[in-house]
Structure 1
Amino acid sequence: MNKLIKNRVMNRALALISLLFAFSFTSCEDVVNLDLETGETKLVIDAEIIWKKGTSGNEQTIKISKTAPYYNNSTPKVSGAQVRVENSNGDVFTFNETETGVYKCTNFVPVIDMEYKLFITAEGQSYTATEKLTSATPINKIEQKIVPDFGGEDVIELTFYYNDPVDQKNFYVTDYQSDFLIYPEYEITDDEFYNGNEISTRYSHEDDIKPGSIVKITHRGVSKNFFNYWKLILEASNSNPFSVPPGSIKGNILNTSDSGNYAFGYFRLCEADERSYVVQ
């Protein structure tokens, strides 16, 4: 089956560009710091409720931080926030701060297709977002084979398979993690042309995948709105780093105290199938 719509974060290319910049600066006698314009500080809310198949889904984590100037070596974490999630039955799940900027819940109850609402109060501002928990079909199998890449060299390619439900429109976000990746690589898929069929999705990483490598695949079912949001994020990440960046990509988190002072991030609830594959 042909590969579906796919967008990947080009970590290696961006890393190479960063390395070239580092070499250019170290080769000069004088250190040059560009006077970059600093925008308004925004809250960043990383609120993914992910229910991995085979688990109860009771342990969930939400992280809150702030945007920082380009030359900052760390991301400011936001402490002292009040964080809770309520479902459409009126059940309340409180997220307690376990370390600076990290809020955890140990009694969350995930229910497919149930609506949940996020409430956050941080630094005198109130934020909210609403989303449903979206199901994901399980991965049937993972295969590997040797294929030629664009340069003609043979590389290892992994393919995983899953059955798409016939009675609904489905959207998926998958990430790949491994020791040879600095950050996860993401791809997005929808069933526009493959509704109700077995879908196969391929993954390779030039010559970095080797026998013995462990690749963790996390395959999520997501809402259409989050799919479209993540598509914009990946398109911006894959764009020319020297071009003018697009306008701020806003998620579904609203500031009910001051609508103009929005937060970055997206409150999403996903069922997921996670598999770790040892490359042969």
Structure 2
Amino acid sequence: MQRIEKYTFKSKALALLSLLFVLFFSSCEDVVNLDLETGETKIVIDAEIIWKKGTTGNEQTIKISKTAPYYNNTTPKVSGAQVRIENSNGDIFTFNETEPGFYVCTNFVPVINMNYTLYVTAEGQTFTAAEKLTSVTPIDKVEQKIVPDFGGKDVIELTFYYKDPANETNYYLTDYQSEFLIFPEYELTDDELINGNQISTRFSDEDKMKPGNTVNITHRGISKNFYNYMKLILEIYGGNPFSVPPGNIRGNIINTTNSNNFAFGYFRLCEADKVSYLVK
């Protein structure tokens, strides 16, 4: 069977709520101030080029922000950056700022297996990263059935199927979004044990998924390096919500001005298939 690793932000939210519950009932008068560690402020470059099947892929967005303390209600945006992507043919695609921290290109040309290089100049620093656009096989079908959960309660389960290409190694990142999910749920899959076969991936929510809900499934083809990076990042969110993420988990974005002042984020280019399924 294939190796599938599922990640959700539920565990982080539940841990936070549990801690707040204990603090509230342990003292009704004292104000509890948690002295959380604050790391050095870093630039965050969210550079996902995603080419959804059935579209031209010409409009792409890159977001640039900064890290902020845990209790901040807003994420600082980085304005005034210069952003461009160049492919291996020498074509240049410029991203223009449309609102603070959002940089948009309207004439991008996605080509499977082509190499692309990202260039960002922001706040006196220059960053670069290189990656190849990875393909994905389409979702063949989505099925729904009722299955018992671990407690014996009947729950709705969705299963989607796709055919893994033979004679090559493939990695996939899938996210599920719906009105009953506060945050997306993610799955990482590789074809180490089922190369060239049909893959089935299951999704359920024992508490909230009901008939009438729409579940949006976005299924991406990703590189091995991005697979390994996402595995580490998603594991962090399943841990203590008050822990400081290790600074050693770096993406592929390099600061060419000062290598020690690296940026968070990962430049990736993914072909994707998206299905919106109405739960019956």
Task: Give the TM interval when normalised to the shorter protein.
Answer: over 0.9
Per-residue Cα deviation, 1:165-192 (whole angstroms, up to 9, x for no partner): 1021100000000011111111100111
TM-score by length of 1: 0.95
Q: Where do 1:85-234 residues align within 5 Å?
A: 85-234=85-234
Preserved contact between residue 218 and residue 272 of structure 1 (Cα < 8 Å) = yes
Q: Check conservation: 2:45, 2:266, Cα contact below 8 A.
A: yes
Kindly indicate whether the alpha-carbon contact (under 8 Å) linking 2:12 and 2:238 is maintained by their aligned counterparts in 1. Answer: no
TM-score, L = length of structure 2: 0.95
Superposition CA RMSD, Å: 1.6
**Residue 18 (structure 1) aligned with residue 5 (structure 2):** no
Matches within 5 A, 1:216-255: 216-241=216-241, 246-255=246-255
Deviation at 1:240? 4.4
- Deviation digits for residues 35-76 of structure 1 (CA, Å, limit 9, x no counterpart): 223211001110000000000000000000000111211110
The residue that corresponds to 2:7 in the other structure is: 8
Distance 2:180 2:203 in 1: 14
The C-alpha deviation readout for 1:116-146, integer Å capped at 9, x for no partner, is: 0000000000000000000000000000111
The CA deviation at 1:25 is 4.9
User: C-alpha displacement at 1:21, in angstroms?
Assistant: 3.6
Give the equivalent residue in structure 2 for 1:278.
278
Residue 137 of structure 1 contacts residue 163 of structure 1 at CA under 8 Å; is this kept in 2? yes
Structure 2 unaligned spans of 5+: none
Per-residue CA shift, 1:202-257, capped at 9, x if unaligned?
11111311111100000000011001111111222223446775454100000000
Give the count of matched residue pairs: 278
Deviates further, 80-89 or 242-251: 242-251
Conserved? CA contact 1:7–1:187, under 8 Å: yes
Distance 1:61 1:251, change over 3 A: same
Q: Which amino acid aligns with 2:4?
A: I
Note if 1:63 corresponds to 2:63.
Answer: yes
Cα contact 1:156–1:207 (8 A) shared by 2: no
Unpaired segments of 5 or more residues in structure 1?
Answer: none
